[in-house]
Structure 1
Amino acid sequence: MHIQLLGRLRIRRFDDEVTLSAAKQRSVLATLAVHADTHVPLGVLVDELWESRPPATAVRTVQTYVYQIRRSLQLAASRAETDHSYAALLTSSRGYVLRLGEHSVVDTTLFRDLVKRGRARLSADENDEAVRDLRSALELWSGPVFGDVPKGSALGAAAISLEQVRTRAREMLYDAELRCGRHDDIVDELVGLTHADPTQERFSALLMTALLRGDHRAEALRVFHNLRAALDAQFGVPPSPTVQRVLSQILTDSSKNAGAMLTH
C-alpha cells in the first residue's frame, strides 16, 4: 500500500487506487498515516474532527470511520497477525495504529527519511549524493500537504512541520548544488522561490551567491535591493547578517574587478 499525503490524498492498494469520498474519513486516515506505526489515541482523532465541540456520538462515529477505512483498504488485522508484510489498521487500548508492514509506505515518512539522509551526506561532503536524495525528497510533493483533507489541530501542526522541513530541504539542496559548481543550473529555481516569498532571506542569499559565481553581479545586487525593500515594507527590519555577508562578497569582488580593469 502506498499513501500519498504531500498533495491530494491518494491511496494505492496492490494495483488499484482507492478513494475515500467522505472528508472526515480522509482526515482520520491522514492522521493515522502521518503517525504510521505509532499509537494514535482516540481522543486525538475526536479533537481532529471536531476540535472543542465534539457531538455526543463522536466516539462511535470515529469507530465507524475506522471500520469503513479498514474495509475499504483491506486492512483487517486477521491476516496481518500471522504475516507482518501486510499493512493493518489495528485497535489498541489507547486508540488505533496504522501498521504499514514491510511493503507499504507513506510519502511523508519517505520524505523525512530522504531529507535526513541528504543532510547526513551534505555533512559528509558527499554533495552529488546529497543532491540526489534531496531532489528525490522534494519530487514527492505534488501540491500543498493534505491538499484535499480537512485539517484540525493535529494535521495543522503536522503540515507546518512538513513545510518547514521542505524549506530546509530546499536550502540544503541549493547549498549542495553550489558546492558542486552548478550555480547556473539553479538560478531559475531560486528566482521562482524568491518571487513566491520576497522576504525569504535564505533563498535570496543563495540566489545572490549563484549569480555572483556566474559573474552576474548587477543581478545579484538587484536581488539584495529587492529583498531589503520587501523586508522593510513588511517587517521594518534590514537584511540579516548572512545576507549582508553575501553582499560584502559581491561588493568586494566588484571592486577587485574594477581595480583590475583600471590597471589595464
Structure 2
Amino acid sequence: MRSEQIRIGLLGPLKVTYTSDGVRHSSLQITAAKQRQVLAMLAANANTTVSTDQLIDELWSSDPPSSVKTIVHTYVYQLRKLFGERLRSANGATLLTTHPGGYLLTVPPENVDIFQFQELMGRGRAALRHGRPDHAAELLGQSLALWRGPILPDVDMGPVLKGLSVYLEEQRLEAVSARIDADLANNRHGELVGELRRLVASHRLHEPFHIRLMQALHRSGRRGEALGAYHQLRRILDQDLGLEPSGEARQMQCEILNSD
C-alpha cells in the first residue's frame, strides 16, 4: 500500500484508516496505550523527525524508566510491525522510519486531519478577507466538519499532546468565529442567534461570541435583546475577571444605541 491511502484522525478519538484496493476502507486497531500515544505524537508531527527525547518527555513527564530509550524503540518497532508490509510511502519506502536521534512518519499532510483542518481554515479566512463570504463559509464549514469530538479522548496525553490539544481547541474557536462572520456577511443573522446563544453559554469568556450575538440580534430587529447581551457580557467580565468589555464591544453597543 502507498502512504497516500492512509489517513490518521486526531480531531476526536484516534483513527487510522486505509484503502486496500482503492475503494474498500479498513481500519487499524491499536489497543496498547503507549503505542497510541507514540502514534499520535508522530502523526501530529508528520514528515518531521520526532526526537527520542521528545517522545520520552511526552510518555514520561517525570521519572522515566532506566531503559527508556530501548522502551521507546520497542514501541516504534511494534507500530512498524503493526503497519506491516501493507503500508509504504509514495516512493515505496517504509512508512515509519528511524532517523538519527528520532523517528519519522511519512504521510501526506492532507491525510492527517489536523493539517487538513488548518489548511481549510486558512483558505476560508483568506476568502473572507477578500470579500468572498459564500466561499469562506463553505471552506470553514468543511474545516469544522473534520472535528469528531474532543481531541484524542482515548489517548493518554502528556505535556506535548496536552499543549497541542489546547492550541487546536483555540484554533477551532477561531474557525467558528470566522464562519459566523462569513454567515453574518451573507445576511444569515436570524439563523445564527440560537447557535450564538449556545456558544455564549458554553464559552462565557470568549468575548467575540458575545459581540457576534449582539450583532445578530441587532440585525434581526431585536434591539433590546442586543443591549441585554452587552450587559450580560459586562457582568460576566466584571465578575469573573474584573475587566470591562473591549473597545469592539463598546463600539457595537454605541451602534445599537444610535440606531433608529
TM-score normalised according to structure 1 size: 0.89
Q: CA deviation at 1:203?
A: 0.4
Which structure 2 segments of 5+ residues have no match? 1-5, 20-24
Q: Deviations over 1:210-244 (max 9, x none)?
A: 11001011221221121111111111111111111
- Asked if residue 10 in structure 1 is aligned to residue 15 in structure 2, the reply is yes
Compared CA separation, residues 124 and 6, structure 1 to 2 (3 A)? same
Where do 1:11-26 residues align within 5 Å? 11-14=16-19, 15-26=25-36
Establish whether residue 91 from structure 1 lines up as the match of residue 101 from structure 2: no
**Partner in structure 1 of residue 53 of structure 2:** 43
**CA distance in 2: counterparts of 1:181 and 1:100, whole angstroms:** 40
TM-score by length of 2: 0.91
Residues 1-264 of structure 1 correspond to what in structure 2 (within 5 A)?
1-14=6-19, 15-74=25-84, 79-80=88-89, 82-83=91-92, 88-101=95-108, 105-253=111-259, 256=260
CA contact (8 A) 1:131 1:177 kept: yes
Using the alignment, how far apart are the partners of 1:251 and 1:27 within structure 2? Answer: 53
Q: Any idea what SS the aligned residue of 1:168 has?
A: helix
Deviation at 1:199, TM superposition (A): 2.0
Structure number with greater Rg is 1
Is 126-135 or 219-228 further displaced after alignment?
Answer: 219-228
Offset at 1:139? 1.0
Q: Bigger CA drift: 40-49 or 222-231? A: 222-231
For 1:90, give the aligned amino acid.
T
Aligned 8 A contact 2:8 2:14 in 1: yes
One-letter amino acid of the structure 2 residue matched with residue 129 of structure 1: H
- RMSD across aligned positions (CA): 1.8
Deviation for aligned residue 1:66: 0.9
Partner in structure 1 of residue 22 of structure 2: none
Q: CA deviation at 1:167?
A: 1.3
Rounded to whole Å, the distance in 1 between the matches of 2:227 and 2:251 is 13
| SS of residue in 2 equivalent to 1:147 | coil
The Cα shift of 1:32 comes to: 0.5
Q: C-alpha separation between the residues in 1 aligned to 2:91 and 2:219? A: 59
Give, in whole Å, the separation in 1 of the partners of 2:214 and 2:27.
Answer: 44
- The AA in structure 2 aligned to 1:122 is L
Q: Compare 205-214 and 147-156 and name the one that shifted more.
A: 147-156
Q: In 1, are the aligned partners of 2:133 and 2:186 still within 8 Å (CA)?
A: yes
Instruction: Report SS of the residue matched to 1:73.
Output: helix
Moved over 2 A (4+): 73-77, 79-84
Say which SS state the counterpart of residue 8 (structure 2) adopts.
Answer: strand
